[in-house]
Amino acid sequence: MNESLSRMEILNKIHSKKRIRSKLVLIVLILFIALAIVPLANYFIQVKIPYEKTALRVGETIFTREDVVDFIRFNQRLSEEQGANFDLGSSLFESLKLIAENEIAFLSAAEYGLVVDQWEIDEAFFLRLGFFNDFSIDSEDDRKAFNEKKLQFLNQVQLSEETYQDIVRKGIFREKLRRELSREIPNIQLHKYIYEISLDEISQSTISEIQRNIDKGEGIGQIVKRYSIDPNVLRGVGDLGWIPEGIYPSLDQTLFGSNEVNIQPLAVKKLSDPFLDQENSLYKFYIIADINDSQELSIDDLEILSDQVLISFFEMKSREVDMQYGLDNETFNWINERVKVASILPEGNQENVIIE
């Protein structure tokens, strides 16, 4: 009987040791999992989640903070390749605006029958990287040089091929939309020859004196040089030349009138009411010297009007598309900080800037 009990005691001790050993193994396993979870959780809290927060929504398309950082770094690096300065202070606001406009252009592509081919993406990037007329897209050597340059560029900014293609493609859609909308601009338009006089202070006697000289037939250019205090007036700054409607939107109602609000245009060779230039603390007056009812647009004016038409298009579409900005102070500071960190790190040493 005693022998039997001794065996039982031995078995109990063995089972007890096994239970203790199992508990120790379980405790070690729990500690190991906890130690693994802490840095993983920290990674998600500190890195992954902040990058995936929404910075912009255009329709059904969501752009995260990471998308914005990629877009800014892409354009920042291209500016550096071209030897141009990149202003980080305004880049975030401008980049968000441009991302939204590019997406609207992309969403409007089908409406205007716009497509972008692969060769157009390559060609656009060729030019941005500094390959100009001496570069042939069909040359094997040139294409090899381009691919090497592109690979180096993408490695430096840590962009995937897919992200690069998407950024360039949508930028091309924006430019194609601009060209398409510019076709609606009449090439022959009413032009008015405009002069500008800048005064630091105004009095009725001075205004009357200027108007009398105009009425006497004195050359308006000479009057501008005599009275305008702008130091650049001798270099022709006061001579704005032939201007169609839309070049100076703030002056359009004065110079061209408005049927919508029943405003008559300024009469020829009459001083306008003063416009306050707050930035330079000046009063500016405008004079129409001559009118041409049918003059061809200059290339420069066509470019300006094309920009205006595109801006108006985006303003209209932004009211139709569900567009939301997730830009608060924390997001602004976070994105700018990531871009600044990336810009000061040596090339090829940016592995920890963005966790892909």
Contact 237, 230 (CB under 8 A): yes
Please determine, for residue 43, whether its predicted confidence score (pLDDT) is greater than 60: no
Which has more pLDDT, 291 or 340? 291
Pairwise pLDDT comparison (347 vs 152), residue with the higher score = 152
**Where do we find the tokens 């939309």?**
177
> How much is the pLDDT for 325?
83
Q: Quick one: average pLDDT of 326-336? A: 78
Query: What residues form DSSP beta bridges with 263?
Result: 258
Percentage of the chain beyond pLDDT 70 is 78
HSE-CB of 244 using CA atoms within 13 angstroms: 22
> pLDDT band at residue 103, thresholds of 50, 70 and 90?
very high
Phi and psi dihedrals of 191, rounded to 5?
-125, 150
Instruction: Provide the pLDDT for residue 89.
Output: 54
Give the Cα-Cα-Cα angle 72, 68, 333 (nearest 5 degrees): 90
What architecture is the 189-296 domain classified under in CATH?
Answer: Roll (3.10)
Instruction: State the average pLDDT over residues 329-350.
Output: 65
Please give the residue that has the higher pLDDT: either 11 or 27.
27
pLDDT of residue 10: 63
Lowest mean pLDDT among 7-11, 210-214, 265-269: 7-11
Summarize the confidence of residues 335-345 as an average pLDDT: 67
Q: How far apart are CA 290 and CA 67, in angstroms?
A: 51
Q: How confident is the model at residue 331 (pLDDT cuts 50, 70, 90)?
A: confident
Higher-pLDDT residue of 33 and 247 is: 247
Residues 6+ apart with CB under 8 A from 256: 190, 192, 245, 265
How many other CB atoms are there within 10 angstroms of residue 339's CB atom?
A: 20
Q: Confidence class of residue 337 from pLDDT cuts 50, 70 and 90? A: confident
The predicted structure's pLDDT at residue 242:
96
155 token code pair = 């490695």
Q: Where are the alpha helices (DSSP H) in 284-352?
A: 299-320, 329-344
Domain boundaries, the chain: 54-183+322-344, 189-296
Q: What is the pLDDT of residues 121-174, one digit of tens each?
A: 988 888 877 666 566 666 777 778 888 888 888 888 888 999 999 999 999 999
How far separated are the first and last CA of the chain, in Å rounded? 71
pLDDT in tens, 214-253: 999 999 999 998 998 876 655 566 899 999 999 999 999 9
Query: What sign for the dihedral angle of Cα 119, 123, 128, 130?
Result: positive
Strand order in the sheet with 188-199: 239-244, 188-199, 282-296, 275-277
- Percent of the chain scored above 90 by pLDDT? 43
pLDDT score at 309: 96
Report the pLDDT value the prediction gives residue 243, as an integer from 0 to 100.
Answer: 96
Residues 59, 322: Cα–Cα separation, whole Å:
5
Q: Which of 139, 85, 83, 100 is nearest to 326 (CA)?
A: 100
- Residue 353: the pLDDT is 34
